[in-house]
């Protein structure tokens, strides 16, 4: 409800974030199944360069551990049995954190890893959230 989001499940998170950051407003439309009390119900996608990706993932795991997220499952996203290549020729790793305690701190830790191109944490970017429920739409605005 604070309008922090995890996006990028479709594998275009870098471009999604560029467009969102360039916009005066970011309006998000979702059904009520996507509204969670705390981020982390869904895996966090992280786009990384293909070059050195195994080393990048090891550094990400180290950063996660410094924040208290030990043994986070980090899985290379595949499509048809091969690594999914993003529209920017990078790879996506999905990270299952469970409850994310501090999204802004996690976002900064990920960005500190060379080769981690972008992550699916949209912190402080969305301005309006439209949540569709049975027979109604709830509107949540950033204060």
Q: Which residues are catalytic?
A: 16
Beta bridge partners of 27: 128
Helices (H) and strands (E) in the chain, counts: 3, 11
Contact of 67 with 61, CB cutoff 8 Å: no
Structure tokens that stand for 42 in this block:
């869904």
β-bridge pairing 128-133 and 27-31: parallel
């Amino acid at each position: 409800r604070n309008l922090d989001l995890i996006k990028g499940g479709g594998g275009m998170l870098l471009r999604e974030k560029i467009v969102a950051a360039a916009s005066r407003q970011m309006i998000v439309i979702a059904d009520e199944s996507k509204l969670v009390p705390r981020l982390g119900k869904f895996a966090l996608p992280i786009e990384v360069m293909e070059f050195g990706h195994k080393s990048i993932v090891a550094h990400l795991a180290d950063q996660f551990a410094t924040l208290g997220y030990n043994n986070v499952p980090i899985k290379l996203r595949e499509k048809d049995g091969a690594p999914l290549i993003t529209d920017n020729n990078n790879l996506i790793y999905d990270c299952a954190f469970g409850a994310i305690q501090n999204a802004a701190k996690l976002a900064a830790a990920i960005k500190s890893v060379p080769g981690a191109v972008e992550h699916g944490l949209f912190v402080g970017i969305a301005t309006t959230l439209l949540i569709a429920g049975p027979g109604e739409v709830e509107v949540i605005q950033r204060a």
